[in-house]
Amino acid sequence: MKSFALTQPLNVKTRKLAVLGAVFAAFACLAGTARADSTTVSFWYQDLGPYTTLSLGSAPSSPPAGPATATFTVNGSSGNVFSFDLPGSGVAGDSNLSSFLTYGGDTISGLGSAGSDNVNNGVFEFTGTTTLVAGQTYEFTHDDGMILYLTNGAGTITAINSPSATAADESTFTVPTTGGYSYKVIYAEVNGGPGVLTSDITSSVAPEPSSLLLLGSGLLGLAIVVARKRKPSGLVLHS
């Protein structure tokens, strides 16, 4: 009597576990990196140095030397992370760092004790990525001075250089090429309140290498499982 036995590269249970594992790895990575609107912030408290001249018409091209007081992440609450608009007048009108950054509804991760620092005479550096459309006009409203650098495959451009604003001022810019850009915003809050830094650009922090590795591993595992699943089952003839 002859019988047929079915052999498979992976049994059904093993295949299901492999698929679930690969999908979980991919989604875990995306959950960690695909924040809808966020930016990494470095803040120097009362360490202006040459930034004291921001309101006098000149500005350095990089943030203050030395370690920042704090580095943290700001997450946008309404599709726009740059929504810092804190009313008040004079030095007494300035508020602490946490209040300034959350006034528009944003949330902060990793700020720590620096949240109580007063923003007056503080320097910010915001970094992240954004997608921009050629010919479309984008804006930053800022009080006080700010500089915006944009970088893509073609190099770095200075999109805004407005160091002399002492009241809320709108600076606009366009880009020649549609696509993804890394940005760096250097902003100094001097001369007391109010403090304003708003923009209509969307933002997301660049994925960390470890997150990219996790995503790649998950997708690779999923591809292997799918490829094996498509192989025809082997038939072994027994006498």
pLDDT tens track for 84-137: 987 766 656 557 889 889 988 999 999 988 888 888 878 899 999 999 999 999
Do 130 and 171 share a domain, yes or no?
A: yes
Q: 144 and 62, same structural domain?
A: yes
Same domain as 85, residue 64: yes
Helix-helix angle 209-230:12-33, to 10 degrees: 150
Domain range for 81 is 36-204
Which tens digit of pLDDT belongs to each residue from 180-237? 999 999 998 877 777 889 999 999 876 544 444 444 444 445 444 445 555 444 434 3
The reported pTM is: 0.70
**Does 190 lie in the same domain as 224?**
no
CATH number at residue 40: 2.60.40
Residues 79, 146 within the same domain: yes
Residues 50 and 159 grouped into a single domain? yes
Cβ-count burial 113-124 (b if 16+ within 10 Å, e if not): ebbebbbbbbbb
- The strand pair at 122-132 and 179-189 is best described as antiparallel
142 plus 116 within the same structural domain:
yes
8 and 71 belong to one structural domain = no
